[in-house]
């Protein structure tokens, strides 16, 4: 079994989740079941899928869950831009989240590519 705690992708994804939760606390209450929930769920999906993939027995399953995590990371990037355009995130918060999300995506993509070789 693989140890997810040794993966840089997991570390980055975990940091992203904490930032998303911290920054979305100030979103309007009208977004509690909308963008707040969606952004949090997508962010939490990234490390959750990495953990689940690491627990799988086949390489193909592992890669499949990493692919899902990568898709969620890209989803988070878009949702961050929506939140910023709606005025829910400051420019600084948005830049911090985008940078962490992009780095997470790149590391995940590199891991996936290396496993497919």
What is the radius of gyration, based on Cα positions, of the chain? 14
The pTM (predicted TM-score) of the whole model is: 0.95
Q: pLDDT band for 1, please (50, 70, 90 cuts).
A: confident
Mean per-residue pLDDT, 97-114: 98
Domains in the chain, CATH or no CATH each:
4-116 (1.20.1440.60)
HEC string of the chain equals CCCHHHCHHHHHHHHHHHHHHHHHCCCCHHHCCCHHHHHHHHHHHHHHHHHHHHHCCCHHHHHHHHHHHHHHHHHHHHHHHHHHHCCCCCHHHHHHHHHHHHHHHHHHHHHHHHHHC
* pLDDT tens column, 23-51: 999 999 999 999 999 999 999 999 999 99
* pLDDT tens column, 80-103: 999 999 999 999 999 999 999 999
């Amino acid at each position: 079994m693989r140890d997810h705690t040794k993966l840089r992708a997991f570390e980055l994804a975990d940091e992203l989740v904490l930032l998303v939760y911290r920054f979305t606390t100030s979103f309007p209450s009208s977004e509690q079941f909308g963008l707040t929930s969606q952004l949090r769920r997508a962010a939490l999906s990234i490390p959750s899928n990495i953990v689940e993939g690491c627990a799988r027995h086949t390489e193909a399953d592992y890669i499949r869950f990493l692919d899902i995590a990568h898709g969620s990371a890209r989803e988070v990037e878009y949702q961050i831009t929506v939140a910023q355009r709606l005025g829910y995130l400051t420019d600084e918060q948005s830049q911090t989240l985008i940078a962490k999300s992009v780095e997470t995506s790149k590391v995940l993509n590199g891991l996936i590519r290396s496993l497919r070789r």
